[in-house]
Structure 1
Amino acid sequence: MRQLARSIDQQYRAFSRAWGESIENFFRPLLDFLLWFEDVLISTPWFIIIAVLTAVVWFASRSKTITAGTMIALVLIGLFGMWEPTMQTLSIIVVCTLLSILIGMPIGILMSRSDKLQAIVNPILDVMQTMPSFVYLIPIVMLLGIGLIPGLIVVVIYAMPPIIRLTNLGIRLVDKEVLEAANAFGSSSWQKLVQVQLPLSLPTIMAGINQTIMMALAMVVVASLIGVRGLGQPVLQAITNQYFTQGVLNGMAIVAIAIIFDRASQAYGKRLQRHREAAHG
């Protein structure tokens, strides 16, 4: 077994030396977009960012409490001098969530159409969700080194399973009678997917997006070990140097962002559910 493990390690090192740079170049446009988005958030005046985020939360939740809480949390983050790392964290969470949705939703849709594919993908998702987060860092760092690109990949891999699972589940839970009615009207598979299945499964998919955001935020501190900037790095410094106040404040900022995303996305999902029930009623 030791010889086998040593042989695998050697082959992976050879693969990383041969292909690491090409893989990094492939992800370069994504890195450029992340850096541009991060720069936009940091360079834009704070009051504009707060106004935009508050408006987004109001549109999603239509809750005065959640909207007011969002504004207060963002103002406090700025007052305590954590604005720039918070914007860096926000940029990587937004990019990783969008990437997880773009990759995960098509996989979930394909799984909903094939029991065989579901049987193959589910064990992979189980491994992805139960694997200790630090273990993700080993192959990525060996392949791409330390930096934003490997950090981005690690966060996406860790955060993607919920959106895949709940897209699959949501489409499978669509009422068969509704699909039969769509068939009776001569809808194609694409029309059924876009006009029937996805709209009806949207509340479940929103729950998946919510969980994806939460898992991405949970990975931020771990990913700071390999160069992901943001609120994770001050927390890591606080652990290393025993800076109690710095660690607590930055940890609370991560909690505040998590609560904002969680409450806003949950409220939006509930609104979609009520709209769906009213339409069926």
Structure 2
Amino acid sequence: MADSSWLTSFPEMERSTMRTIRKTLDGAYKDFSREYGDFIESLFDPLLSFLIWFEKLLLSTPWWLVLIVCTGLVYVASRSAKLAVACVVSLLLIGYFGMWEDTMRTLSIITVCTLLAIVLGIPIGIAMARSNRVQAFVTPMLDIMQTMPAFVYLIPVVMLLGIGKIPGLIAVVIYAIPPVIRLTNLGIRLVDKEVMEAATAFGASRKQRLFGVQLPLAMPTIMAGINQTIMMALSMVVIASMIGVKGLGQPVLKSITNQYFTLGLLNGFAIVAMAILIDRASQAYAKRTQEHLGDHKHD
């Protein structure tokens, strides 16, 4: 009898234990956010200032100048006249349907997020490639970042920093950074050992081997990582709009809550157009980098 009563009371014991754990963790995090929230927020002030400045720059720049610069960048990266024409047509349609400002806001946050992901991600990828211990430590964290639903890690970020641009930016970077880290690590590890041995034989230092041999040879793989990071950042735009990030995501969110089919569809197409243009341009650039390295090898 004693055994069966223990079995029946087990679910209740489990629930009370879970309640205690939840209360303890929630209380500890709330205390932490009250104590250090303002200090942590102040650390991000320079980044917020840069983001606001860059957004204002894109919004205040005449549309035709933005069109020329974007088309020029796409053409330089891809060397494709078709893609440059597609860029012009896409941006003109975005302007025609009244989505220019939201597109510029989205472009500003995606650019800043990608730059931040590159600045943080490539050094972490290099550290992983140089040390198996670092790789063993970082890989599970990347797995969690990629598999954890985006809504889940929005909760602690919002509790700590509130609603606005910086929490959105942090959420986007957490979601989008794993590919650039993983592919930097992979690219450097795939560099031919014989090439590395030859560089060492010629007296190259560790730094010279990294910047002169490993990074240039790994560049196509790193570019593929950057490409994936941009795509993931763009896919996060709608979720980030839930915590106050202005851009193409907010009209999509509005259209979901109010069932505005056309509004959601047009803004969705604007996000897709940006994604396709960036994807094709960065892939073409990576391919040209690979061909360029191949030509050097043959020489």
Query: Counterparts of 1:202 and 1:126 in 2: how far apart (Å)?
Result: 23
Match of 2:252 among 216, 235, 238: 235
Amino acid at match of 1:212: T
Pairs within 5 Å for 1:51-130: 51-130=68-147
Residue 237 of structure 2: aligned partner: 220
Pairs within 5 Å for 1:228-267: 228-267=245-284
Deviation string 1:120-158 (CA, Å, 9 cap, x unpaired) is 111110110011111121110111111111011000111
CA shift, 1:67, in A, is: 1.1
Deviation string 1:256-277 (CA, Å, 9 cap, x unpaired) is 0000110000000010111111
Are 1:141 and 2:158 counterparts?
yes
Amino acid at match of 2:117: S
Are 1:37 and 2:73 counterparts?
no
Residue 216 of structure 2: aligned partner: 199
Residue 28 of structure 2: aligned partner: 11
Give the secondary structure class of the aligned counterpart of 1:228: coil
Calculate percent identity across the aligned residue pairs: 65
CA shift, 1:65, in A, is: 1.2
Residue 13 of structure 2: aligned partner: none
CA shift, 1:3, in A, is: 0.5
Query: Counterparts of 1:131 and 1:71 in 2: how far apart (Å)?
Result: 37
Residue 8 of structure 2: aligned partner: none
Query: Counterparts of 2:242 and 2:153 in 1: how far apart (Å)?
Result: 12
Length-normalised TM-score, structure 2: 0.93
Amino acid at match of 2:193: K
Give the secondary structure class of the aligned counterpart of 2:84: helix
After the TM superposition, list the runs of 4 or more consecutive aligned residues in structure 1 that deviate by more than 6 angstroms.
none
CA shift, 1:204, in A, is: 0.2
Query: Counterparts of 2:22 and 2:205 in 1: how far apart (Å)?
Result: 50
CA shift, 1:232, in A, is: 0.3
CA shift, 1:111, in A, is: 0.2
Query: Counterparts of 1:185 and 1:280 in 2: how far apart (Å)?
Result: 17
Amino acid at match of 2:288: R
CA shift, 1:49, in A, is: 0.3
Give the secondary structure class of the aligned counterpart of 1:186: coil
Give the secondary structure class of the aligned counterpart of 1:230: coil
Deviation string 1:73-120 (CA, Å, 9 cap, x unpaired) is 011000000000000000000000000000010000000001111111
CA shift, 1:5, in A, is: 1.5
Length-normalised TM-score, structure 1: 0.99
Match of 2:67 among 39, 42, 50: 50
Structure 2's unaligned 5+ residue stretches are: 1-17
Query: Counterparts of 2:204 and 2:246 in 1: how far apart (Å)?
Result: 48
CA RMSD for the aligned pairs? 0.6
Amino acid at match of 1:11: A
